[in-house]
């Protein structure tokens, strides 16, 4: 659990972060959203003390971050950034092994951990371990960047627009992978982004920031349905908000369970992990009234109808 | 692969063999030099062995540049640390001054204080050699991408770990290039050390100029050029070897 209390940061008498207080529960995915210069990165960088606050307190599991020397604190917190910052003169193996080496792990543990992480991010160990960063694509580099951040099994991962420089397709893949990895490991993530769509898709809780303050902190659904007037309303209240709402839920959450074989054979099917927006898109494309929902093995486990989907995006 | 590697070193090995050959057996070229001088004058410099001169020449250059490297590298690292950043312009001014001050003037000033011989030459070469190394160290360290430094800090590397395992390895090719430039410049500059009685190939050139012996001047000049080519070639290859892949 991360608790931020009355956090302030001034640069030359200009308040970058102004009396910020919020809480992120263990295992939650928290997004700090806002325009450039709103103080979201500054806030993130105060958590691992890359920036020292002017005043206020940050507690991780009730322990003040200032109770540890900054280097030791940072080795316990994962950190991934937009530019990735892989060491160009070191192999992928050496890059991922950075923090475990700083912590003095023995060679066998490091080998096992690097292999485990590469596998987790679907990178073949034998192919990638000995490569240098420049031999990898942007998406692979960022996977390695996140793997490196997770190397020493941190409970908390800080990410500063990690997918900002990637093309849309790669970004989507990495977002899905990060969600999968987060569920698997149960870690807490605080991520900074200016992309509302990314925030809605991934976060358990979104904090909208402007001018160094949090204007609203809520679940994606609550934020989209009941934005506060002003900046938040402008940010989330666009015409496409019904569609944004649909991205939050997966088909499996709204489907009605069905026994195999009860669906007409011509019904189009969709995977149970797909979000409702994509399901709606498929319905429109197929000119169908309902979709069959299949599990990973390809068996039909349920169905979802057009009316049910539309209901999920409605105001009330 | 093997042959390419071998070819890569040809540019060094051929001048090196030539240098060794001339150092040990300059007399073989007597027929070539004979037409350049009077019948009674010697055509090959013989007041000292070329091997001895080579060793003295190299010693002067390497001692001076080693010292210049230590100081310039230390200075370059210092002014790129948070504590030393304020000294960056000042240090650059001092290094520039060392470069603009002619080595001959340094010799002239140093002789009354240090006497004749090797010492004033070392001082001149040291001062003259610092700037390229310093400049390249600073540039090399400043060129390390910000995201790499940020990641290193964010993962919990201390300032020294950042310097030694990230910044210096990435700046090393630039630093070696600076050392290479200083060495090559110094190999040429060291010849003027012979005006204050330092041993080296300058002695051959000066003897040639004093006695109007073109053969001596040519022999000294060729030897200096060969040394410079060999050293330059070796350091260029070290530089390539140390460059990060990609």
What residue spans define the domains of chain A? 2-237, 251-312
* pLDDT tens for each residue of A88-112: 999 999 999 999 999 999 999 999 9
Strands A55-60 and A29-33 turn out to be: unpaired
A133 touches chain B (CB under 8 A): yes
pLDDT computed for residue B16 by the predictor: 93
Rg (CA), chain B: 21
Instruction: List the 73-92 stretch of A: residues with Cβ below 8 A of B.
Output: 73-75, 79, 81-89
Enter the pTM of the model: 0.86
Could you tell me the CATH superfamily of domain A2-237? P-loop containing nucleotide triphosphate hydrolases (3.40.50.300)
In this prediction, residue B111 has a pLDDT band, given cuts at 50, 70 and 90, of confident
Q: Collapsing DSSP states into helix, strand and coil, what is residue A297?
A: coil
- Average pLDDT estimate for B43-54: 91
Region A251-261 average pLDDT: 81
Instruction: Identify the band that residue A60 occupies on the pLDDT scale cut at 50, 70 and 90.
Output: very high
State the fold for domain A251-312: CBS-domain (3.10.580)
Instruction: Tell me what pLDDT residue B1 has.
Output: 45
Q: Residue B246's pLDDT is what?
A: 62
Task: Note whether A102 contacts B145, CB cutoff 8 Å.
Answer: no
The mean pLDDT value of chain A amounts to: 92
Share of chain A above pLDDT 90, in %: 73
A261 CB near a chain B CB, below 8 Å? no
- Under a CB-based contact definition with an 8 Å cutoff, are residues A79 and A27 in contact? no
Closest residue on chain A to B244 (Cα): A89
List beta partners, residue A210.
Answer: A213
B215 and B37 Cβ atoms separated by less than 8 Å: yes
Residue A50 has its nearest CB partner, among B145, B154, B166, at: B154
Q: Locate the chain A residue with the closest alpha carbon to B160.
A: A71
SS3 A51: coil
DSSP-derived 3-state class of residue A261? coil
For residue A46, give the chain B residue with the closest CA: B154
Task: Please say if the pLDDT value at position B88 is more than 90.
Answer: no
Contact B156 A71 (CB under 8 A): yes
- Is B156 close to A81, i.e. CB distance below 8 A? no
Q: Contacts of residue B157 in chain A, CB cutoff 8 Å?
A: 71, 98, 102
- Tokens representing residue B125 in the block: 């070469």
CB contact under 8 A, A75 and B155: yes
pLDDT at B107 over 90: no
User: Cα-flanking dihedrals φ and ψ of residue A268, to 5°?
Assistant: -65, 150
User: Which of B147, B148, B151, B163 is the best residue to mutate to test the A interface, defined by the most A CB atoms within 10 Å of its own CB?
Assistant: B151
Coil, helix or strand at residue B48: coil
Range B169-182 average pLDDT: 95
For residue B74, what pLDDT is reported?
95
Q: Which of these, B199, B174, B185, B170, lies nearest to B48 by C-alpha position? A: B199
Comparing B164 with A249, the larger pLDDT belongs to B164
Provide the sign of the torsion angle of the four alpha carbons B37, B43, B47, B52, taken in this order. positive
What secondary structure letter does DSSP report for A228? Answer: P
pLDDT for the residue B4? 58
Distance to chain B for A112, nearest Cα, Å: 20
Q: Between B39 and B149, whose confidence is greater?
A: B149
Measured CA to CA, the distance from residue B99 to residue B102 in angstroms comes to 7
pLDDT average, residue stretch A285-314: 89
Residues 146-165 of B with CB under 8 A from A: 146-158, 161
What's the rounded mean pLDDT across residues B64-86? Answer: 93
Interval B64-72 mean pLDDT:
96
Long-range contacts formed by A45-48: CB under 8 A, 24+ apart: A45/A160, A46/A7, A46/A9, A46/A17, A47/A2, A47/A4, A47/A77, A47/A156, A47/A158, A47/A190, A48/A73, A48/A74, A48/A77, A48/A79, A48/A158, A48/B154
Q: What is the DSSP string of A68-123?
A: S-HHHHHHTEEEEETT----TTS-HHHHHTHHHHHTT--HHHHHHHHHHHHHHTT-
> Are the beta carbons of B244 and A88 separated by less than 8 Å?
yes
Chain A residues with CB under 8 Å of B158 CB are: 71
Please provide residue B170's backbone torsions phi and psi, each rounded to the nearest 5 degrees: -75, -25
Give the phi and the psi of residue B55 in degrees, each rounded to 5: -65, -40
pLDDT above 90 for B96: no
Are residues B145 and A132, on separate chains, in Cβ contact within 8 Å? no
The CA distance from B79 to the nearest CA of chain A, in Å, is 21
- Is residue A124 pLDDT above 50, yes or no? yes
User: What confidence tier does B7 reach under pLDDT thresholds 50, 70, 90?
Assistant: low
Predicted local distance difference test score (pLDDT) of residue B122: 93
| CA–CA dist A29, B8 (Å, integer) | 54
Closest chain A CA to residue B157: A71
Query: What contacts B122, CB < 8 A, 6 or more positions away?
Result: B60, B63, B64, B67
What mean pLDDT comes out for the span B77-83? Answer: 92
pLDDT at A171 over 50: yes
Question: From residue B171, how far is each of A58, A94, B119, B142, B236 by CA, in Å?
Answer: 36, 19, 32, 8, 15
* ipTM of predicted assembly, 2 dp: 0.86
Q: Inform me whether the C-beta atom of residue B145 falls under 8 Å from chain A C-beta atoms.
A: yes
pLDDT above 80 (res B3): no
- For residue A98, the chain B residue with the least C-alpha distance is B155
Q: What is the mean pLDDT of residues B25-40?
A: 87
Determine the average pLDDT of the residues in A191-200: 93
For residue B106, the model assigns a pLDDT of: 84
Tokens in use for A141?
């580099």
């Amino acid at each position: 659990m991360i608790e931020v209390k009355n956090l302030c940061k001034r640069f030359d008498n200009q308040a970058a972060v102004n009396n910020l207080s919020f809480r992120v529960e263990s295992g939650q995915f928290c997004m700090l959203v806002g325009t450039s210069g709103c103080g979201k990165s500054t806030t993130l960088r105060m958590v691992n003390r890359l920036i020292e606050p002017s005043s206020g307190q940050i507690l991780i599991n009730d322990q003040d971050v200032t109770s540890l020397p900054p280097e030791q604190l940072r080795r316990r917190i994962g950190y991934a950034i937009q530019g990735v910052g892989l060491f160009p003169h070191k192999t992928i193996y050496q890059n991922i092994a950075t923090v475990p080496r700083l912590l003095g792990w023995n060679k066998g543990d490091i080998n096992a951990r690097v292999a485990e992480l590469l596998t987790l991010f679907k990178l073949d160990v034998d192919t990638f371990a000995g490569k240098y960063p420049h031999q990898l694509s942007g998406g692979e580099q960022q996977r390695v960047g996140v793997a490196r951040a997770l190397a020493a099994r941190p409970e908390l991962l800080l990410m500063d627009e990690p997918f900002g420089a990637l093309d849309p397709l790669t970004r989507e893949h990495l977002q899905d992978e990060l969600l999968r990895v987060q569920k698997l490991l149960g870690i807490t993530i605080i991520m900074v982004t200016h992309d509302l769509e990314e925030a809605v898709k991934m976060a358990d809780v979104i904090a909208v920031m402007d001018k160094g303050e949090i204007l609203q902190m809520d679940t994606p659904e609550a934020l989209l349905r009941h934005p506060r007037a002003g900046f938040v309303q402008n940010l989330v209240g666009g015409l496409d908000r019904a569609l944004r709402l649909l991205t939050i839920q997966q088909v499996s959450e709204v489907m009605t369970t069905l026994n195999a074989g009860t669906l007409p054979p011509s019904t189009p099917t969709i995977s149970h992990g797909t979000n409702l927006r994509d399901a709606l898109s498929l319905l429109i494309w197929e000119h169908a009234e309902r979709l069959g929902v299949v599990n990973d093995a390809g068996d039909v486990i349920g169905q979802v109808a057009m009316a049910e989907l539309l209901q999920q995006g409605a105001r009330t | 692969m093997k042959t390419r590697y071998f070819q890569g070193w040809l540019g060094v090995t051929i001048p090196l063999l030539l240098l060794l050959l001339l150092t040990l057996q300059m007399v073989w070229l007597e027929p070539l030099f004979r037409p350049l001088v009077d019948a009674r004058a010697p055509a090959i410099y013989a007041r000292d062995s070329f091997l001895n001169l080579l060793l003295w020449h190299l010693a002067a250059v390497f001692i001076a540049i080693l010292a210049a490297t230590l100081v310039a590298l230390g200075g370059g690292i210092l002014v790129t640390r948070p504590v030393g950043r304020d000294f960056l312009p000042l240090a650059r001014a001092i290094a520039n001054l060392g470069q603009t001050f002619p080595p001959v003037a340094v010799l002239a000033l140093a002789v009354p204080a240090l006497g004749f011989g090797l010492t004033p030459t070392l001082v001149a070469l040291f001062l003259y050699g610092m700037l390229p190394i310093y400049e390249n160290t600073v540039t090399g360290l400043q060129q390390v991408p910000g995201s790499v430094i940020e990641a290193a800090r964010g993962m919990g590397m201390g300032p020294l770990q950042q310097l030694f395992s990230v910044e210096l390895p990435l700046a090393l090719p630039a630093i070696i290039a600076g050392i290479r430039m200083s060495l090559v410049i110094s190999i040429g500059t060291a010849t003027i050390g012979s005006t204050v009685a330092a041993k080296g190939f300058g002695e051959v050139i000066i003897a040639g100029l004093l006695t109007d012996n073109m053969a001596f001047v040519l022999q000294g000049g060729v030897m200096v050029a060969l040394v410079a080519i060999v050293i330059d070639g070796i350091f260029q290859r070290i530089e390539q070897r140390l460059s990060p892949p990609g």
